[in-house]
A and B are shown apart, each in its own frame.
Chain A
Amino acid sequence: MHDLKMIADKALAALKDNGADKAQCAVRFTETHEFNVDGGKFSLFRTLFDNSLSLTAVKDDKKGSVGINRLDDDSIAAAAVNCLAIADSGAADPAWVFAEKSENGFFTAGAPEADLDLLFDRTEELMRQIGEQFPLILMEQMIVTHKKRHSVFKNSLGVEYETLSGNYEISLMFSAHEGEKSSSFFGSGVITDRLDVPFMELGTIREDLENVSKQLDTQPLEGKFTGVAVFPPSSLGTFIGSALGNFASDGTLLDGTSPWKDCLGKVVADPAITISATPLDERIVCGERFTGEGFRSENYDIIKGGVLESFMLSGYVANKTGLPRAKNSSYAIVMKPGETPYADIIAGIERGILVGRFSGGEPGTSGDFSGVAKNSFLIENGKITCALSETMISGNLGDLLKNVVAISSEVVCDGATVLPYAAFGGVTVSGK
């Protein structure tokens, strides 16, 4: 086992010795155990022992970064020389950020030690339950993993964090089959630090298997209508991620193309919408404890009651734009539930679509989206009716956020996000 603190000290010293004005390093050891199922059968068991060392240095306001995975003295020394050479090749920019020392810490999170026998048993149990309860389902691939991570982060301003964490990940890709009939494939997954609950009952795994089993017989939509689109947590996460990525993140604020660039403190969404980035929420498994720039992570609201409370900016882009830095790296998205039960939302829709998965290009900064509604159902007169094929949906992400029909009182936690079911109006649904 490597002494990660000693390696971090060596790396920082090497960067300083080579002339860095400021420097940081992150060293990590990861041990992975992974069971694979392919075509419905167990196929592979993997065990991986991995290291990584990332070095960042700034000299004369020029920044360079190097990543290696060899931790011997010669490799660290060579990487430090390389890092400064890369910095020298760059352009001076005073906006680069290294966190000042505030409160160092040692963090433990999740389940660092794997119970591989129980993990295999739970995987076998899920395969058996799927066979018994969802006989039409063919598991294209299932990957069940435990990862143990031990890492040390240090910078030249005295910041030091050590983390020991571990978690299980369950990832499924499957479709339904009967004779030559086949549904579209669907992906489902969760992150967890517990093995006391059957995998079938985690996240939306059971619901996803049920829905896909009903998608063998699909019908193309005839014509076109503008109506309500209901997004379950899996596809809602995709849309929220696209909207926030286009409107509130580093890239579009730095190049000035975000349509929300002048909207801080202003209404950008329906009052029912509150979206937060909360890595310290106990429902988030192994949430971030510090950012890549070395700041301690804190929970924060991105949109609160429809008002844009914060952009999701790194310290670098905050310095470039004069806008405030976000309090974490904004991976752990939590959306506040509404007051309407999911069943009542469906019951209240005259004509709409339940969007299981969106297959389309990443919307541009305009927020316009257009793509195929995969694994989706038509909603008519308050009921989910037929599964759809060759049906497209289109609209605008910004408009969507302002056009909330209802947000469910239920939320689903998959270990990485906590999201409700949400219904939005004004979505164009078109068939052949």
Chain B
Amino acid sequence: MLQDIITPHKHLLPGDAHAELRAQLSRSSRVTLLSGNLTANAKSEVSGVSARVYKNGVYGFSSMAECSDDAVRAVLKAADENARFMDRRAPAGKGPLTPIADGFRPLAADISDPDQKLYADFARAIDAYIAEKYPNLSSRAVIATSDSMEKLLITSDGQGGHTISPRSYMYVFLNSETTSGTPIELFEAYGGSGTFDLNFTDPAGLYGEIDKLYERLMQKREGVYAEAGMKTCILSGNLTGMLAHEAVGHTVEADLVLGGSVAAHSLGKVVASEKVSLVDFAHTALGVEAPLPVYLDDEGTPATDTEIIKDGVLVGFMNSRESADHFGMKATGHARAWSFSDEPLIRMRNTAVLPGTDKLEDMIASVDDGYYFISTNNGQADTTGEFMFGVCMGYEIKNGKLGRALLDTTISGVAFEMLKTVDMVSDQMTWTSSGFCGKKQPMPVGCGGSDIRCRVMVGGR
């Protein structure tokens, strides 16, 4: 656990500017088995201190890979000098940030760092199960991984805290070929918030999930290409979550709004059908703990939910303290940093399309000729909201019934146009949290959603 070397230096925070001082310890572990070959078996632990100083609308930042009194003094000095350099060379002429209340969030619970052997043994057990039960695969990969961020923060407002955010996952990739020899792949990530030893106690607990993944791969072997064109489709919660994050969430991050995203002109306007509501949850979603809970951000703002779309209308942005002042909104805890050497950026936490009242079976029954897309292996979107998602598993829907499996395809569209075509939303939620969001720095994020029926462009082959 991090020793508190920063609180004793609170008196060194500059008196004429807003400042943050942070110590951070980040850990990661990874074991990779590629068709039985152990190609990676590694652990990483990095720690250090950083300081950020805000002066008249510009920031200075400095970090050092040491957790020592000297390092704290050095980064505070360098950050202050950098802020003064920017204020002199590129004056922004802004006032101070709106203060936040005093407070300190103490550490809820410490975590253990499991031995690497636990990861290796678990991965080997899963790999052995796949190798023995499914010898006809062309290749397979099994990855056991975890990461955690422990942070100690104080700010010149008096707000701060001590937090730890661990998560751990098992990835399984299964590869085969279609009858015509085209390589196909499916993968799944299992796990979530928490350390590896608590999330993965028995390999047999995953066997059923792996069997389902294999079954889908075999359906995909006999799969057909989707027909290109605008289609009525049902997107599973996995894809809806990807849409919520990539095609809507990024466009309403206030720094990207200031950078010219489509949302700059859409606040208060209808951007989706009235069946669509979208929220970025901080730590509790729909009555249960969110996949990757955030209680305090790295500017010292206690994290609360951010309502983005309400009944089809764009109602809010995600803000840092500075952007919240700019837009006259409330900061709700989105400013987060990945490593001790990273400055806080506006990031999502747990972004989701809220469930509706429709039943998935009724939604499928309502489609005469379309597709049910259930898994995605990648997704990209523009600040215009134009998106493209890879679909690696799906089915035809013919006359209200699921048909043949699909080979890989893509869907694309413009989020604020496509969301207006949503006319059914299921009553069930699906969350994912294994990936990283990339925006200068990586960041663990959760995204989720319900099945939606919509019109979307299908890429075909």
Contacts and interface: CB of A to CB of B under 8 A. Distances in A.
Contact of B62 (A48, A177, A430): A48
A39 B255 contact: yes
Interface stretch (B80-88, B298-306, B429-437): B80-88
A256 B380 contact: no
Interface residues of B, number: 81
B38 A46 contact: no
Contacts of B83: 45
A175 interface: yes
Interface stretch (A16-24, A263-271, A364-372): A364-372
Contacts of B59: 43-45
Interface in B256-281: 256, 258-262, 265
A157 interface: no
Contacts of A140: 256, 259-260, 383
Contacts of A360: 378, 380, 388, 390, 410
A194 interface: no
Interface stretch (B115-123, B145-153, B158-166): B115-123
Contacts of A182: 260-262, 383-384
Interface in A125-175: 138-141, 143, 173, 175
Contacts of A41: 90, 92
Interface in A53-81: 63-70
Contact of A89 (B115, B183, B383, B457): B115
Interface residue SS majority, chain A: strand
Given A69-B46, A69-B65, A182-B262, A120 B89 contact: yes
A361 B390 contact: yes
Contact of B66 (A45, A66, A70): A70
Contacts of B307: none
A44 B377 contact: no
Nearest to A176: B260
A45 B82 contact: yes
Contacts of A50: 48, 63-65, 341
A392 B62 CA distance: 43
A90 B38 contact: yes
Given A64-B42, A86-B116, A185 B383 contact: yes
B388 A38 contact: no
A46 B62 contact: yes
A69 B82 contact: no
B347 to A, nearest CB: 14
A173 B256 CA distance: 11
A88 B117 contact: yes
Interface string B53-85: 000001111111111000000100011001101
B181 to A, nearest CB: 9
Contacts, number: 227
Interface string B106-132: 000000000111011100100000000
Nearest to A258: B183
Nearest to B28: A67
| Shortest 9 CB-CB contacts between residues of A and residues of B | A140-B259, A361-B390, A42-B90, A39-B258, A89-B117, A255-B139, A361-B378, A65-B42, A67-B44
25 contacts: A41-B90, A42-B58, A42-B86, A44-B59, A45-B82, A48-B341, A50-B64, A51-B65, A63-B38, A66-B44, A69-B47, A85-B116, A91-B124, A140-B259, A141-B259, A175-B259, A177-B260, A184-B382, A251-B34, A256-B139, A361-B408, A364-B183, A364-B408, A389-B386, A390-B386
Interface of B: 34-35, 37-48, 58-67, 74, 78-79, 82-83, 85-86, 89-90, 92, 115-117, 119-121, 124, 138-139, 141, 175, 182-185, 228, 230, 255-256, 258-262, 265, 341, 343, 377-378, 380, 382-384, 386, 388, 390, 408-410, 412-414, 440, 457, 459-461
Given A46-B61, A64-B116, A182-B261, 12 more contacts: A42-B92, A44-B60, A86-B43, A89-B117, A175-B384, A256-B138, A257-B138, A359-B388, A360-B380, A364-B183, A370-B459, A374-B382
